Structures are given as structure tokens and as C-alpha cells.
Amino acid sequence: MTIVTRVAGPLHIVRAEAEPERWDAFVRARSDGSFAHAAGWNAVISEVLRHEYIALAACDESGVFQGVLPLVRVRTPLLGHSLISMLCLNYGGPLGSDDAQRLLVDAAIAEARASGADSVRLRSRTAIECELSAPADEKVLVLLDLPASPDELWSHFSSKLRSQIRRPQKEGMEFRTGADQLDAFYDVFAHNMRDLGTPVYSHRFFERVLATFDDVVIGAVYLNGIPVGGGFGLIWNGEFEMTWASTIRKYNALSPNMLLYWGFMQEMIARGVGVFNFGRSSRDAGTHRFKMQWGGREHELPWTEWTARPSAANVHAGPSRMAQLVSRSWQRLPLPVANLLGPHIARRLPWW
């Protein structure tokens, strides 16, 4: 394991995995901090996904944190060796003063070079001052400001949107929320990921996230007692992000996804949350259009990356043609087989 010791002016880089309280205090104090920066991901990443978690901190001469950057080392036989901030999540890029961010980026690249990594991928929510390249596939968030009451939000919806929300209710669907919805969420999520041809994270991964963080919210939509939609997200500094959400394809004509999102919005308003974050999408994709219909605003994600070989394929752009063929084969697997094999593969996919 390489220890980065670069120094630039009054700032220097240290490894800070052993200082979770100080790390989280810094992240909480930053308006641009996110749950993706939280120290709790160390245990989730290292113990469940079994990757090395690297916590880089930029300190001043007094040892005070001026910036932080969490990195996850992912080694995959076919996809190479990457340092990613943050695996599984939409954010986690360098956080802190401009000087600290620049030093942290330099330190991440130095670590990549020293350890033979092929790339460094930084999933930032705000732009950073560096000369790294942008990925080919543009990612955007959709953010919806929540009013004081569900009725006020409902009044801003179009008649078409209100009709789409009523449809699953008329079919007898109901929304439930609480930690006891974890199994229902995972059943739907795993089923949908198999149908999409994508390996799924393990149930243990979500169990650990729920046990690690205080502000996890889980919800599910039921039809005749059967879960047909599910969502899993986190609240941070007055914003809720729907980090994972799925519905079972054969019920999609009944629009369980509309009730799922409406149920989560009502729950967030009841909790006093001010912003509903739909999570990331590729611009102009179907998921992006679905999110925009709720009346939110776009926020471009300025992700960047460094590659040891600039001519190398950009995995941010998504799976290769071979991977697409594998994906179609995965869709044909029996669900129990996909759920058994999926977690071993999903943890090694750097575009997750």
C-alpha cells in the first residue's frame, strides 16, 4: 500500500482512515459536503465490497483539515485498475479550499502512478479547478424544491402527472416506508436489475448502509400484498437523494413508479426536507425525461478523470459491445442464479 506524502506550500497530504470523527466534522461543516464523503463508507466498501478505501486529507501546518478526498481502489481483470471517488455513488470528489482540492487531485494521480492504476475518476457535484478530462457520457441530477405541504406540491403538478399518480392508487396499490421495507425493496431491485441485464449488489450491502447511516429512508409499493416497486435513499443537509429505485417490469403499465416517487415526496415533506434529489441520469435518457416531468431543475455533474493511457477506452461511457452481449445473456438467467452470482460481479464494476 502506497502512502502519499506530497507537500505543497503550507498544505500537506495525510491518510485519515483512522480519524472518522474529525473527517465527518469537516464534511458536515461544508455546504458542498455530501453523504458520499462520509467516513462510514469505509466500512461498507472495505468489509462488504472488499475494496481498499483510501481517505486522503489536505492539512495545514497546524494539522487542521482543509480538504478531503475519499478513494476506492477497484481492480478488475478485464476493466483494469482504477481509483474512484466514489464507487456506487454520484459524488465524493475533492472537497475543500481550491488549493486543497488541487493538491488532493495531484495526490490521487500520484497514488495512481505509484500503484500502477490505469485511471482516477472523480465524481464531483461541483466543478473543480483541474485539467482533467470529462467523461463522454454527460450525467445530470434533477432537483425538486419541496414546499411546506403535499397539497402545495400537488397543485404544481400538471393534470397529466396527477392522473399518472392516481392510476396505481385506483389499481389498489399502496406505499409503505420504514426500515422494515428493506427486504421488499431488495426483492424488487434485484428482480429489476436482472431484467436490465445488470448484476446486483448484495442484500448485505444495503443492510450495512442502513446500519451505518442514520438518515436512510426505504419505501415500497405493494399490489395485493406483493412488492412491485421500491426505493432506497439518504437524507443529508436538508436534501433527500433517491439513490436506488426500481419497479418490476410486468407491472409498469400500472405506474407503480409514480406512486413510489409521490410517496417518497410526501414522506420528505413530513420530515421537513427541502429538496428531493432524483439522482443521476444520462442527459436525455428515458430516466432523465421521467424525472424532469415532476417539475425539477437540472444540475450538471462535472465528473472528471485522469488516465495513464489517454487512448484507453473511457469506461464512463458505459459497457462495451461485448458487455452488452453479456448483459443480454444475464437477462435470461433464473432470478436465484442472478442474485447468487450478481454481487460477486457488481462490486467489480467501476461504472457503478
pLDDT digits (tens, 9 = 90+) for 140-169: 999 999 999 999 999 999 999 999 999 999
List the domain range (segments joined by +) for residue 208.
140-301
> 168 and 257 share a domain?
yes
Is 150 a member of any domain? yes
Q: What's the pLDDT score for residue 226? A: 96
> 236 and 294 share a domain?
yes
Are the C-beta atoms of residues 164 and 129 closer than 8 Å to each other?
A: no
Is 1 a member of any domain? no
> 144 and 291 share a domain?
yes
CATH number for 124 = 3.40.630.30
Is 169 a member of any domain? yes
> 180 and 103 share a domain?
no
> 108 and 243 share a domain?
no
Is 344 a member of any domain? no
User: Which regions in the chain score pLDDT beneath 70?
Assistant: 1-9, 78, 135-137, 310-326, 330, 333, 338, 342-344, 346, 348-352
Is 327 a member of any domain? no
> 292 and 147 share a domain?
yes
CA 152, CA 149: separation in Å to the nearest integer? 5
Is 338 a member of any domain? no
- Residue 208 has which C-alpha cell? 450495512
Is 78 a member of any domain? yes
Total number of domains constituting the chain:
2
> 183 and 104 share a domain?
no
pTM comes to 0.87
What is the sign, positive or negative, of the torsion defined by CA atoms of 145, 154, 215, 138?
Answer: negative
Per DSSP, the three-state class of 330 is helix
**What pLDDT digit, counting tens, does each position of 115-146 carry?**
999 999 999 988 887 777 776 668 899 999 99
Is the bond preceding 86 in cis, omega lying within 30 degrees of 0? yes
> 116 and 201 share a domain?
no
Is 160 a member of any domain? yes
> 94 and 147 share a domain?
no
> 77 and 15 share a domain?
yes
